[in-house]
Amino acid sequence: MAADWLGSLVSINCGATLGVYQGEVSSVDQTSQTISLRQPFHNGIKCPVPEVTFSAMDIKELKILEIRNGSNGVSKRSLPDSSSSTGYNGRKDKGGGCGGNGHINSAPVTVPSKAEPRLQEGGMSPSQHYSKSYGERHVDIVSQNKGFRRRHNSWSSSSRGANQATPKKNGSKNGQMKNKDDECFGDGMDDVLDEDFDFEGNLALFDKAKVFSQIESSDRRGNGARSRGTPAEQTPSRYRHDENILEAKPVVYRQITVPQPGAKEYSTDSGLVVPSISYELHKRLLSVAESYGLSLERRLEMTGVCASQMALTLLGGPNRLTPKNVHQRPTVALLCGPHVQGAQGISCGRHLANHEVEVILFLPNFVKMLEAITSELTLFGKTSGKQVSSVKDLPDTPVDLVINCLDSHENTFLRDQPWYRAAADWANQNRAPVLSIDPPVNGQEQAVEAKWSLSLGLPLPLPERAGRVYLCDIGLPRQVFQEVGIKYHSPFGCKFVIPLHTA
């Protein structure tokens, strides 16, 4: 009778403490009431010992997964007196086992009885069993003579309980004893797959040209909705970070044309061409703008805002004008004359003073001044700015910025006045950079050498002494430009002040 069970695959449930074992029956001893399993699995993990022996007293339930001797089906039978706790005469061997005490050598391992001390409570409950399909999977592996393999999945990892003890392996590695990490985490690491996956061979099975040809043929059948080719046939276009990928037509860089081009042409940072205009065309442009309602007061306010914004940037912007830097407020000296350009400078000084900049306005005393200057001085007097009428009252030390509004487009006789020469000498001797607002072009050398110059609307052909030219948007509509024969598209984009480069 005992020989009929040899070779069968069984599943033995030893309770919550010892767990569940699976394996092939190697021997059944009716006298000592023991059964031995070859190539055992404990809780789904292959045991490091080749054979484990169980006593009938420790077996809670026994399931036969497959009977290999004389039967083709799967049946469930019990060992003789498997549930009896008497008649156990087996010897209790001490040593490391798979989930219990026993020998690790090739000799069969005897599982201790219930009376011996158990490991920590935990593990799988007695009601948990292995399904038929699970057993059949292990049978297939055994039938292929490749041995049991460790299952690398979440179930096998989670099925380990606190009761499972890692057996000690008495061995040496390179002549030295294995450390504790190898004893704790090294179990089963030697059980690797017999054959490595052939990535190169699998990749060689993919015919890239054939797949692309199939895609191309399917695109032809779809009325050419898409056009694809092999990577060798396609030449991808390369775009810069500032280029438009969906560009439909070429960019026209000359979007402004004037009836009488000036002596110079400028270009913006994006490459748009901005031609210069003569002073006569500039006067006609402002006259038409005033007839449409863009009065001098509006132009003064717009010019003052744009000039102050540029000046704030030159002074350091957010790096200089912060609440933590109130003890180092920038100082600006404004040099203005009795004309429209002087009124533009006063408007700029008012906005600078509103932004916590120390402004010193130089304007000589005149018996008769323009109404625009009078109104701008009234508004400037409401700020924290300081007004002086003598060059002696200007600072002796260098200031942060000098804004020059001394020159006029029409009145060139002012350069002969003593106050003009004294103010120009002070600006040239002061080591601060100079910003000129709306400098004139009258064929004479400018008295004050500027680092930057701000033109209004469209630039005038300024000389080299004017420094780098910037363009200010004073709000002239396109129809105003068309009225004087200028084809105009705004070159400002998202800004009101843009730099110009000499073409």
How confident is the model at residue 105, as a pLDDT? 34
Of 340, 339, 376, 338, nearest in space to 359 by CA: 376
Percent of the chain with pLDDT over 90: 39
- How far, CA to CA in Å, does 371 sit from each of 142, 260, 378, 388? 109, 33, 11, 19
How confident is the model at residue 152, as a pLDDT? 43
Q: Could you give the 3-state DSSP secondary structure of residue 36?
A: strand
Q: Residue 296 pLDDT more than 80?
A: yes
Task: Please report which confidence band the pLDDT of residue 252 belongs to, taking 50, 70 and 90 as the band edges.
Answer: confident
State the average pLDDT over residues 312-321: 90
CATH topology of domain 2-170: SH3 type barrels. (2.30.30)
pLDDT tens digit sequence for 123-151 = 444 334 434 444 444 444 444 444 444 44
Q: Residue 114 pLDDT more than 50?
A: no
Task: Please report which confidence band the pLDDT of residue 206 belongs to, taking 50, 70 and 90 as the band edges.
Answer: confident
Q: Which of 86-90, 98-102, 123-127, 422-426 has the lowest mean pLDDT?
A: 86-90
Q: Rounded distance, CA 69 to CA 369, Å?
A: 126
pLDDT tens digit sequence for 216-239 = 887 676 555 444 444 445 555 677
Task: Please report which confidence band the pLDDT of residue 315 belongs to, taking 50, 70 and 90 as the band edges.
Answer: very high
State the average pLDDT over residues 33-42: 90
Position with higher pLDDT, 157 vs 320? 320
pLDDT tens digit sequence for 460-483 = 999 888 899 999 999 999 999 999
CATH topology of domain 265-502: Rossmann fold (3.40.50)
Q: What is the DSSP string of 101-156?
A: B---SSSPPBPP-TTSPP--S-S--TT----HHHHHHHHHHHHTTS------SHHH
Average pLDDT, the chain: 76
Task: Please report which confidence band the pLDDT of residue 367 belongs to, taking 50, 70 and 90 as the band edges.
Answer: low
Q: In terms of C-beta density within 10 A (0-12 exposed, 13-18 middle, 19 or more buried), how is residue 279 classed?
A: middle
Domain ranges in the chain are: 2-170, 265-502
pLDDT tens digit sequence for 419-440 = 999 999 999 999 899 999 999 8
How confident is the model at residue 360, as a pLDDT? 96
Give the length of the chain.
503
Q: Which of 162-176, 308-322, 402-416 has the lowest mean pLDDT?
A: 162-176
Q: Residue 240 pLDDT more than 50?
A: yes
How confident is the model at residue 111, as a pLDDT? 42
State the average pLDDT over residues 162-188: 53
Task: Please report which confidence band the pLDDT of residue 176 belongs to, taking 50, 70 and 90 as the band edges.
Answer: low
